[in-house]
Amino acid sequence: MSRAFHPPDTLSKDDVRKIADVRRDVWTSGFKGLFYGSAAGYTLHTASKFFYNRVLSEKNKSKIRAAFDISKSKPIFTRNTAFLSFMLGGSLGSFLLATTTGKNEVHELHDIFHIGEKEKPLTPYQRSIENAKKVGGDYNNDTSFDRKRRRLSRRKTRADRLQKGRGLSDSHSGHWLEEDETTTMTQQNRSSRRQNMTKRLEEGRGLSDSHSGKWES
């Protein structure tokens, strides 16, 4: 007798019901595919026979017979070929619909697949984590506390750097230049450049270094 009538004790009633529903859907789809495939196969055989007898020319018929090595005295489409098309269409349709239904509904059985599964041995890293949980309490809570403490420390450091006028990056040695200081330095550079330009002109020297900075008379 099938095991479906005597499920193991590890399965609950809900698990048994899920398995029965999936099995029923697969069988139903298989029979539907058998019916549709058989009808499609027989219809295709009839259409091919009509096309061969009414549409094709004698020249094309001769080519087909020569390709399959069939003599003119033997017909191509017979009751045997009709039965073959009927059976091939039914088997193909049943296989396709049953397989598609099974793949679409297998997600219903994922939890059942792990019932009664033996526990896998722990790796050395996993054993060390388990030991840390037993010795130091809740490992996850400790990790969360450490993250929170580091986050507060970073915020405090960032606030101290901003209050001291230092940037968050190390550019300019972490110091900001005051606006007045920047303006004064710019004015000094401009004044120095103007003095150099005036001196070079008074001495008869050009502004560039071509010809050693001298004009030819």
pTM of the model: 0.48
| Residue 148 tokens, joined | 């929170």
pLDDT, tens only, 111-170: 877 776 666 777 888 888 888 777 655 545 556 667 777 788 888 887 777 777 665 565
Distance CA 44, CA 48 (A): 6
pLDDT, tens only, 50-97: 988 888 888 888 888 788 777 777 888 889 999 999 999 999 999 999
- pLDDT higher for 66 or 2? 66
pLDDT, tens only, 19-51: 889 999 999 999 999 999 999 999 999 999 898
Amino acid at 141: N
What value, to the nearest 5°, has the Cα angle with vertex 50 and ends 32 and 85? Answer: 35
